[in-house]
């Protein structure tokens, strides 16, 4: 209040002295204020940075964790197995199919002819069965395999790393599809109201009563998952099938919040002004009302991601999730339950699962506090 009184006095004094008037203060939108508030909540902000950086790194995992060589120099020529398929005969190896690049690296280093092979930091893939290891899998953690191997001889570190990308990508895609449908349905019910709202609410009540797990079991028994070797995991039909199933059941929750926000916002003066100007219902709904109704959508998004990751882990644990050999945390935990003496099959997946969910919960708490409608309300 004191600063507001002093500013006109300073402007008047400056005008009397012949100084140019002070520039008007630039207003800051509520959204930018909320972003600034989020950055001051250090626990949530640093969790957001850590999770974002880890998720970005997970998309370049083939360069960091893979059984294929990044670059091979052979007989004076350069090869890039990370992007191109080469048969073993291309490098003079007596084998069928793709060569073992770890063995090729040893052979080239022993020849002392200037040829070499550059391998990733962790030269093991998530789907490679290491049957040449001594003993029977699962193998305990060692220098070459810091987190051990699973019951099929596959490296646990590689499966956890790729499983992180699969789990978070799955959760984000389900969030986008489910909340997209929920926003559209909630906007229609809240804006038009009347009979559409009554009938829509009855349909939602019937739809939400359908049993989710039984539906998954029925569809899994009918649809046979297809794994395409050498293709991106996101192109698997079963991956998209699970996304569709979860999105079909998950859109109901956000609908109630968006419907309530639209009921509240459509009674305000700016909506009446838009109607008087002759703007269409679609433009009023999604250009004027929706931007002012996103607080519950943004606040619940991190917690929805937590629920989606938990749902995928639970489905994989029960055997109704992604098909083998897709890297999965739930599948590793299931192996640990079957092999209780192999502690690394339970401990490491649960630690990865716990830390990921903990970071997302911290982000959710910070987002909820930053987007609290009471924080910047004019009615306080």
Write out pLDDT tens, residues 211-228: 887 887 777 667 655 544
- 101 and 201 both lie in a single domain: no
* Contacts of 192 by beta carbon, 8 Å cutoff, 6+ apart: 281
Identify which of 208, 220, 297 has the alpha carbon closest to the alpha carbon of residue 248. 208
The total of structural domains in the chain comes to 2
* Residue range of the domain that includes 347: 156-370
Cβ neighbour number for residue 108 with a 10 Å cutoff? 20
- 286 and 336 both lie in a single domain: yes
Is the bond leading into 329 cis (omega within 30 degrees of zero)? Answer: no
Kindly provide the b/e burial profile for residues 241-268, where b requires at least 16 CB atoms within 10 angstroms of the residue's own CB.
Answer: bbbebbbbbbbbbbbbbbbebbbebbee
**The dihedral formed by the CA atoms of 114, 120, 122 and 126, expressed in degrees to the nearest 10:** -120
Write out pLDDT tens, residues 92-128: 888 888 899 999 999 998 887 889 999 999 999 998 9
pLDDT of residue 233: 41
- 195 and 283 both lie in a single domain: yes
- 111 and 161 both lie in a single domain: no
* Contacts of 304 by beta carbon, 8 Å cutoff, 6+ apart: 171, 175, 178, 179, 250, 254
What SS3 state is found at 74?
A: strand
Q: In which residue ranges of the chain is pLDDT below 70?
A: 1-26, 220-221, 223-237, 373-380
- 271 and 199 both lie in a single domain: yes
What CATH number corresponds to the domain at position 171? 1.10.3720.10
- 102 and 207 both lie in a single domain: no
- 96 and 193 both lie in a single domain: no
What SS3 state is found at 287?
A: helix
pTM: 0.84
């Amino acid at each position: 209040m004191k600063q507001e009184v002093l500013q006109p006095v300073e402007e008047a004094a400056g005008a009397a002295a012949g100084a140019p008037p002070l520039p008007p203060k630039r207003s800051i939108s509520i959204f930018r204020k909320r972003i600034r508030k989020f950055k001051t909540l250090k626990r949530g902000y640093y969790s957001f940075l850590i999770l974002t950086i880890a998720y970005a790194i997970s998309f370049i995992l083939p360069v960091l964790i893979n059984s294929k060589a990044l670059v091979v120099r052979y007989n004076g020529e350069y090869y890039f197995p990370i992007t191109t398929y080469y048969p073993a005969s291309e490098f003079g190896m007596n084998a069928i199919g793709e060569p073992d690049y770890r063995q090729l690296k040893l052979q080239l280093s022993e020849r002392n002819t200037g040829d070499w092979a550059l391998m990733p930091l962790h030269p093991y893939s998530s789907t490679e069965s290491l049957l040449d290891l001594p003993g029977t899998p699962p193998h305990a953690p060692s220098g070459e395999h810091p987190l051990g191997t699973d019951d099929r001889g596959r490296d646990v570190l590689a499966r956890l790393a790729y499983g992180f990308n699969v789990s978070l990508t799955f959760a984000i895609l389900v969030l986008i599809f489910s909340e997209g449908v929920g926003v559209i349905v909630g906007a229609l019910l809240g804006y038009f109201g009347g009979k559409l709202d009554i009938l829509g609410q009855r349909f939602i009540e019937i739809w939400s009563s359908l049993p989710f797990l039984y539906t998954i079991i029925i569809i899994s028994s009918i649809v046979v998952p297809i794994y395409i070797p050498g293709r991106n995991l996101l192109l698997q039909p079963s991956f998209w099938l699970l996304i569709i199933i979860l999105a079909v059941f998950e859109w109901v929750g956000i609908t109630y919040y968006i419907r309530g926000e639209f009921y509240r916002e459509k009674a305000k003066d700016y909506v009446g002004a838009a109607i008087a100007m002759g703007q269409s219902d679609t433009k009023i709904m999604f250009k004027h009302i929706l931007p002012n109704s996103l607080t519950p959508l943004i606040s619940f998004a991190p917690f929805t991601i937590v629920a989606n990751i938990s749902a995928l882990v639970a489905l994989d644990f029960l055997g109704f999730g992604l098909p083998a050999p897709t890297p999965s945390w739930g599948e590793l935990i299931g192996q640990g339950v079957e092999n209780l003496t192999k502690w690394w099959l339970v401990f490491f997946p649960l630690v990865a699962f716990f830390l990921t969910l903990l970071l997302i919960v911290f982000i959710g708490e910070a987002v909820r506090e930053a987007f609290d409608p009471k924080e910047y309300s004019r009615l306080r």
